Amino acid sequence: MPPKADIKILIVDDKQTMRKIIKGMLRDLGYSDITISNNGALAWTELQEASQNGKPFEFIISDWSMPEMNGLELLKKIRSDDAYKTTPFLMITAEAEQSKVLVAVKAGVSNFIVKPFTTKILSEKINKINF
Amino acid sequence: MSSYTKQFTIFSKPFIDAAKDVFETMVFTSLKTGKPIVKKGLQSKGEVSTYLKISGVHNPTKKNYLAMLSISWPKETYLKLSSAMLMEEITQYNDECSDIGEEIIKMILGNAKKDLTGLGFSSYVDESINNQNNMQGLSKDSHVIEIPIECSYGKMFMEIYYTDALEL
C-alpha cells in the first residue's frame, strides 16, 4: 500500500547527484513534500526541528555511506528518539552485503535499496514498507 | 595467455558487467565495449575522469592486490550523460554535475563486488579521485588496460590497472 502523496519526506545523502536523482524519482511518483539534507548530522538537526515544530518527518530515505554521521548511525539515533521510533526508514547502499543488511535490520531499518535503481524499483521498495 | 593476463581478465570482467548494468539503470543507455588495448602512457583520453584505488586479497592465491579503476569521458559525453541521469539539461561542467562520475564509478564497484567475491577477490576502496587526468601514483611503465566504450551519448574509456606485486 503506497503512502499518501503529501507524506513529509527527508532525503539524506552527501552526494548532490543522488539527492537530485532521488528527489526527481519521488516527484515522478507523485510525492511533493520533500526536504534534502547533506549528511546524517544535518539530517538529525532537521529531524529535531521538524519534531519541535509539531510536523515531524514521516519517511526518511538515507544513504548508508556519508561523512559526519553515516546512515546506520542516523538510523540508530532516530530509533532512540520517541518522535521517530517507528518512522519508516529506507536505506540506500552501494552494495548488498549480508552482514550490513543484518546490522541495519537489527537497528530497525524498514527496507533497503541497492544502487543502481530505477524509479520503479524505488516505488516497489516504498510500497513494501508499512506506513 | 600469461597468468597475469588471465588474472587481469578475470578481475576486469565484473567491472565491465557492472558498468553495463549501472549505465542501463541510471543513465538509460546501453554500453558497447570495444577491444581492450594496453595503454601507452598514463594520460586519460577524456577530459573528465574519475578514479578508484582498490585493494584487497585474492583468496585462492592468498596474494594482496592493488588496482585502479578509471572512467574517462570527453566533456560532451559527460554533459549528455549528466543530463540523462539528472533528468535536466546540463550544458556546462560545474558543481551540479561534478560528482556524477564519482557516483557512477562507486556504483560500478558496489555492483561488481558480488562477482568479485565469487571469484575470490575481497575488495576495499582506498580512495576515490575526481577530475584527475592520469593514474597518479603509477610508474609510467605500468600496464594499464584501456577499454573503449560507446554509448548513445558518445565515447568513453574504462581503464583498469591490476597488480599483485607492486605498491601503488
Q: How many CB atoms lie within 10 A of CB A67?
A: 10
Q: What is the largest CA-CA distance in chain A?
A: 38
pLDDT at B139: 66
Interface test with A, best of B26, B97, B113 (most A CBs within 10 A): B26
pLDDT at B137: 67
Q: With 90 as the cut, is the pLDDT of residue A87 above it? A: yes
Number of residues assigned to chain A: 131
pLDDT at B140: 65
- Provide mean pLDDT across the span A118-129: 96
CB contact under 8 A, B110 and A93: yes
Distance from CA of B99 to the nearest CA of A (A): 7
Q: What does the pLDDT read at residue B144?
A: 85
Backbone torsion region of residue B35, taken as left when φ is above 0, otherwise alpha when ψ lies between -120 and 50, otherwise beta: beta
Residue spans per domain, chain A: 9-127
Nearest CA to B147 out of B74, B45, B55 is that of B45
Q: Provide the pLDDT for residue A3.
A: 87
Give the side-chain half-sphere CA count within 13 A for B135: 29
pLDDT at res. B12: 92
Q: Which CATH number fits the domain A9-127, given the four candidates 3.40.50.10320, 3.40.50.2300, 3.40.1190.20, 3.20.20.120? A: 3.40.50.2300
User: Which candidate from B26, B87, B97 shows the least CB-CB separation from A116?
Assistant: B26
Question: What residues of chain B score a pLDDT lower than 50?
Answer: 167-168
Which amino acid does the sequence have at A72? L
Task: Tell if the pTM clears 0.95, that is, is over it.
Answer: no
pLDDT of residue B168: 45
List the single best residue of A13, A17, A19, A93 to mutate versus B (max B Cβ within 10 A).
Answer: A17
In CATH, the architecture of B3-134+143-163 is: 3-Layer(aba) Sandwich (3.40)
Provide the pLDDT for residue B165.
Answer: 65
Residue B9: per-residue pLDDT: 84
